[in-house]
């Protein structure tokens, strides 16, 4: 591993752009209908970025698979996001707190993805 690894994900850029447009459109429609459907769609599609990288799926296939994987887990994802938002708000009162809260949120999301996928990731030591 080296400094170059930081920029090795460039091959996913196109997929992430397509994912962002499609997911943003779908979630936007959900929010236009009512706030609750927007959040349900957002939580249901939240694993797509992990699937695009981990399983090398196209953006549309990743969105479909994310929706399938999150069946029965949307409330868990909601509670995690709610807790993460609260931690972020508290951390934002201290400028450096954001640099802790945001990475923790991303790592927590990856942990949720791995757990839903069926893996049992070890806690960092």
What's the pLDDT at 3?
A: 75
The tens digit of pLDDT for each residue in 55-95 reads: 999 999 999 999 999 999 999 999 999 998 898 888 888 87
Q: CA-CA distance, 60 to 62, in Å (whole number)?
A: 5
* DSSP per position, 56-107: ---HHHHHHHHHHHTTTTHHHHHHHHHHHHHHHHHHTTSGGGHHHHHHHHHH
* CA 80, chain centre distance (Å): 11
The tens digit of pLDDT for each residue in 87-116 reads: 888 888 887 778 888 888 999 999 999 999
47 versus 34: the higher-pLDDT residue is 47
């Amino acid at each position: 591993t080296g400094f170059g690894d930081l920029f090795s994900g460039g091959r996913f850029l196109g997929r992430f752009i397509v994912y962002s447009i499609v997911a943003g459109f779908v979630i936007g429609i959900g929010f236009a209908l009512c706030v609750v459907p927007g959040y349900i769609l957002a939580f249901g599609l939240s694993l797509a970025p992990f699937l695009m990288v981990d399983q090398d799926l196209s953006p549309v296939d990743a969105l479909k698979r994310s929706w399938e994987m999150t069946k029965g887990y949307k409330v868990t994802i909601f509670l995690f996001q709610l807790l993460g938002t609260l931690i972020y708000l508290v951390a934002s009162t201290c400028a450096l707190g954001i640099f802790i809260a945001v990475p923790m949120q991303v790592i927590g999301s990856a942990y949720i993805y791995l757990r839903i996928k069926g893996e049992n990731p070890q806690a960092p030591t």
